Amino acid sequence: MNSVEATVAVLAAAPEALYVASLGTATSALREASDDGPHFYFGGAMGCALGCALGVAERSPERDVICLLGDGELLMSAGSLWSLAGLAPPNLLAIVLDNSAYAITGGQPTVTDGRFARAAAALDSLASAEASTPTDTSARVADTPRPGLIQANVTLDGPLAPDPFVNPDWVLTRFEAACGVPARPDSTPRSP
Amino acid sequence: MWEHKLADALLEAGTDAGAYVPDARLRKVVSRLAEQLPLRCLTREEECVAYACGHAAAGGRPVVLMQCSGLGNALNAIGSLLIPYRIGVPLVISMRGTLGEGNPSQVPMGRATVPILNALGVQTFSVRDAAAAEGVAKGIARLAYDARSPAAAILEPELGSQRDAA
């Protein structure tokens, strides 16, 4: 299962969710799998996606929120797992696309296996699951309680496509609309 | 007291959530805000800024509070998320490392806080008394929420209540 196949499986199980995707693999995979859907794509700020998703989830308690993370991304901000457990938003699911490497910079291996599902399982309020096929990924997205974390084991892809370096105005304007935020007079959605 | 003036001005401006890493001078600001809105104590200043960016993108009006020694921890989120995505979040930063500081480890970041913020394009406004607390809080909220320009209140040592204040 590659990162796009995993993300297609996630979207099939949760088509109405609000999505936040971290820099690199997660953003490229979600752009490809959703045909540039109106999601919060990170073009930088590695390590910040789960914190951002916590803010989205707490502001939008009536919506299902899914945070797609790279494994390097989560290693950079592992403390946010504790925040996820502590705030325990009942509408937030984190999914780690775990390829054990930094794909965006050429596939350098991470320092060690993340064992993200096991780490999440150690925290009292978090549900935890692991998936290695698209079928399992869809099933775990459907049946994992929130808050929770799914470790999706994916292969290391080639060069990332589409481009993970997105236009922030394009991202934010469309994501605000997806959240039901009224458009601003200066909203000028452009290309990615 | 200045803490209530600052917190009440933020609340009046529509602030509806917040995230912070604890600091002694911020203690009463935090407790005043927490009476009225969800205020999250998170693991790292960068995470606070990221949380606020998500909250604001979903339609909220969050505030972030931190000590200046944690500003270094937050620069990735400020420089690569808050500013390029033009998300309006007022920052409240409690100073260490300036007038009267006795801890050498606080001094470099204290000296650098305002220059770093200004270099990133974040306007900074000093607060030294209760009157300024109200006006600055109101002003940074308007800059952040209405003009979508990053702005910070700088809580100076003259306000007292820092952990080792004389």
Distance from chain centroid for Cα B141: 11
- Going by C-alpha positions, the residue among B15, B26, B95 that lies closest to residue B60 is B15
Mean pLDDT across the stretch B35-54? 98
Chain-chain contact of A77 with B47 (C-beta, under 8 angstroms): yes
CA distance B14 to chain A (A): 14
Nearest-by-Cβ selection for A168 from B17, B38, B85:
B85
**Residue A20 at interface with chain B, using a CB cutoff of 8 Å:** yes
**How much is the pLDDT for B166?**
41
Query: So where are chain A's domains?
Result: 3-178
Total Cβ atoms within 10 A of residue A7: 30
**Residue A52 at interface with chain B, using a CB cutoff of 8 Å:** yes
- E strand or H helix that includes residue B15: none
CA distance A152 to chain B (A): 24
- Distance, in Å, from the CA atom of A125 to the CA atom of B146, rounded to the nearest integer, reads 37
- Distance, in Å, from the CA atom of B92 to the CA atom of B68, rounded to the nearest integer, reads 9
Which amino acid appears at position A182 of this protein? P
What are the b/e assignments for B135-162, b being 16+ CB within 10 Å?
ebbbbbbbbbbeebbbbbbbbbbebebb
Chain A residues near residue B21 by CB distance under 8 angstroms: none
Name the class of domain A3-178: alpha beta
ipTM comes to 0.97
Q: Are B48 and B20 in contact (CB under 8 A)?
A: yes
Chain A residues near residue B20 by CB distance under 8 angstroms: none
- In this structure, are strands A127-131 and A65-70 parallel, antiparallel, or unpaired? unpaired
pLDDT, tens digit, 9 for 90 and up, residues B87-122: 999 999 999 999 999 999 999 999 999 999 999 999
List per-residue pLDDT tens for chain A, 192 residues long.
Answer: 999 999 999 999 999 999 999 999 999 999 999 999 999 999 999 999 999 999 999 999 999 999 999 999 999 999 999 999 999 999 999 999 999 999 999 999 999 888 999 999 999 999 999 999 999 999 999 999 999 999 999 999 878 899 999 999 999 999 999 999 998 766 666 678
Chain-chain contact of B46 with A51 (C-beta, under 8 angstroms): yes
Chain B residues near residue A53 by CB distance under 8 angstroms: 54
